Structure 1
Amino acid sequence: MFFKAPNPLSPFLKEIWHWKQVDTESLPWILPSYEFELVFHLTSPPYIYPLTGEPIRLPLAHWVGPQNKRWKIVSTEKLNLISIRFQAGSPYELFKESALTYLNRFPSIENTSFSPFLKLSSLVSESETLNTEGIHKFVASLTEILESYLGEIKPIDANVSFAFHELTNATAGIYEIAKKTGISRKQLERGMKQVYGLPPGELRKMHRILAMIRNPNYYKSEKMETRFTDLAYDYGYTDQSHLIRDFKSVTGYLPKDWFKNFEKMSYFYNS
């Protein structure tokens, strides 16, 4: 189940997920994304398996930074966790840290400069799941912690913020966006990496694909295969083959196979 962020924090928090008894065998790969998450495992945390390299054991409480790689979740136990998803760019505003520091990383909150969040760990450390009262206490404590950061917001540069919103427009071109801002493409790329962790082209590709897979209307549709040309047009692709190429590079699947098999879930565990 998921909860909307409390009203005072909605510009910075997107949603809060509570996962109960989720079987990792049913989950596909973690998808690349420009969004941060803060995750608290209520039971033994799982392992992360990258496409190449050694597996990583996740900490009990950790950040999920921007990702440009796919990962697989493996655990002998079912997952029980709380995941806090932030609005794009808000960790930079709230905590004044470069998103590049967290690129493709899952650092423990104990090893970062976010000691106030350790209070949340104590709320979930003695329970495999949380009841309604426990969730309310967790959200109230989270709200209190985040409100302590609101007095010293670091505004995102107006050009970078404008570029991000333009990039979420399917038809926007990167050169055209840079021209509108009056800064060079290199300056724009540096700013986007600082705030969102990714360069403009990569961010736009991820946004397009994430927007598709988060749309529940596309799942298990009998007419899905006949709609790919329209889907490509709707998301600003010049042709269907470009859409399929981007979709497979991000998800590892062809669109028809993805939408046939996976339900909409939190981006961190990818569906």
Structure 2
Amino acid sequence: MNHKIFEPQPNLAEWVKCYWTLESSFENTPLKNTIIPDGTMKLIFHYGDTYKHHPEGKESIILPKCFLIGQLTRPYVVEPLGVTGSFVVRFQPNGFLPFANISIKEIQNTAVPLDKLFGKDGGEIGEKILTADATSKRIELIETFLLNRLIDRKNIDNIVKSTVEIILNGNGQFSVNELSKQNNINRRQLTRKFSSTIGLSPKQLSKTVRIQNTLKTLLNKEVTSLTDLAYENEYFDQAHFIKDFKEFTGLTPKEFYGDNLKMSLIFDTKD
């Protein structure tokens, strides 16, 4: 699979983390991929064939060609239906808010078609990106679209922004009480701000960041002991580690270790 990452222009860097593309022939694509929560929302444009989503315990659904995926709180299993060609806009954890016209909290684990999200403008930008002949053109199109929508930007919540930075810099290892104290705000107020701005609670984002950091350790280091890995990432004990790991990946660490790890993380990008 061919996976490339591109930086946003400076005017959008506060909101957009990066762009990335994923391309592969059908023969070289796994039958199913697990997208693991990473604390960010994404606009996805399938200029190749689309994907099917397999919700746990429910009937599978065909995903739209262009959509926003809300914050994930559980593993999101997809299956390619042909040749993969995907262009993705990955927002900062609190980066989609200026572009939102729907409740961010209410679209957790949900694929929202662009025409439902942005009306006629959404359908038009989706069609332009799908028919563009190069990644550079797709980036130019989406950046123009997003910058135009920033005219009515919402006020930045500095408490949320600073708390997100603390969570990211600390690899998700601060408790909500510690986060509240550092920002001089009570826990309930902080949770309410996070819910409306990010679509996750501070605890959910912290757990997500911590598991992503753990997965990157698995991918990039020679791990000899899963117990040591749990303590290295400041889980209370191995049982706590296994519980969180299965919540986000659908598998235990032992089940997940190996090829599943690399194929799942191909949907993640960078710090």
Question: Which residue is 1:39 aligned to?
Answer: 44
Question: Which residue is 1:93 aligned to?
Answer: 98
Question: Which residue is 2:166 aligned to?
Answer: 166
Question: Which residue is 1:145 aligned to?
Answer: 145
Equivalence map 1:29-178=2 (5 Å)? 29-95=34-100, 97-113=102-118, 115-126=120-131, 130=133, 134-168=134-168, 169=170, 170-178=172-180
* Amino acid paired to 2:193: G
Q: 1:234 to 1:6 in 2, by over 3 A?
A: farther
2:12 counterpart of 1:9: yes
Contact 2:125 2:145 in 1 (8 A): no
Deviation at 1:153, TM superposition (A): 2.4
CA distance in 1, matches of 2:37, 2:57: 15
Deviation at 1:31, TM superposition (A): 1.8
CA distance in 1, matches of 2:38, 2:218: 20
Q: 1:22 to 1:90 in 2, by over 3 A?
A: farther
Question: Which residue is 1:182 aligned to?
Answer: 184
Contact 2:173 2:210 in 1 (8 A): no
Structure 2: stretches of 5+ with no match in the other structure: none
Question: Which residue is 1:240 aligned to?
Answer: 238
Deviation at 1:122, TM superposition (A): 2.7
* Amino acid paired to 1:225: T
Q: How many residues were matched structurally?
A: 259
Query: Percent sequence identity over matched residues?
Result: 23
Contact 2:173 2:206 in 1 (8 A): no
* Amino acid paired to 1:67: L
CA distance in 1, matches of 2:65, 2:256: 30
Q: Deviations over 1:141-167 (max 9, x none)?
A: 112112213343213322222332333
**Of 205, 208, 212, which residue of structure 1 is paired with 2:207?**
205
Question: Which residue is 2:249 aligned to?
Answer: 251
Moved more, 245-254 or 84-93: 245-254
Contact 1:47 1:55 in 2 (8 A): yes
Contact 2:41 2:90 in 1 (8 A): yes
CA distance in 1, matches of 2:148, 2:252: 44
Q: Deviations over 1:82-115 (max 9, x none)?
A: 1111111111134365321321210110112354
Structure 1: stretches of 5+ with no match in the other structure: none
Q: 1:36 to 1:114 in 2, by over 3 A?
A: farther
Moved more, 195-204 or 57-66: 195-204
2:265 counterpart of 1:267: no
Moved more, 163-172 or 58-67: 163-172
Q: 1:124 to 1:166 in 2, by over 3 A?
A: closer
Q: 1:92 to 1:22 in 2, by over 3 A?
A: farther
Question: Which residue is 1:219 aligned to?
Answer: 219
Deviation at 1:72, TM superposition (A): 1.7
Q: 1:187 to 1:220 in 2, by over 3 A?
A: closer
* Amino acid paired to 2:207: K
**TM-score in terms of structure 2 length:** 0.83
CA distance in 1, matches of 2:142, 2:81: 30
CA distance in 2, matches of 1:218, 1:258: 10
Deviation at 1:37, TM superposition (A): 0.6
Deviation at 1:209, TM superposition (A): 0.8
Deviation at 1:5, TM superposition (A): 1.8
Q: 1:256 to 1:4 in 2, by over 3 A?
A: farther
SS of equivalent to 2:224: helix
Q: 1:218 to 1:248 in 2, by over 3 A?
A: same
CA distance in 2, matches of 1:125, 1:157: 34
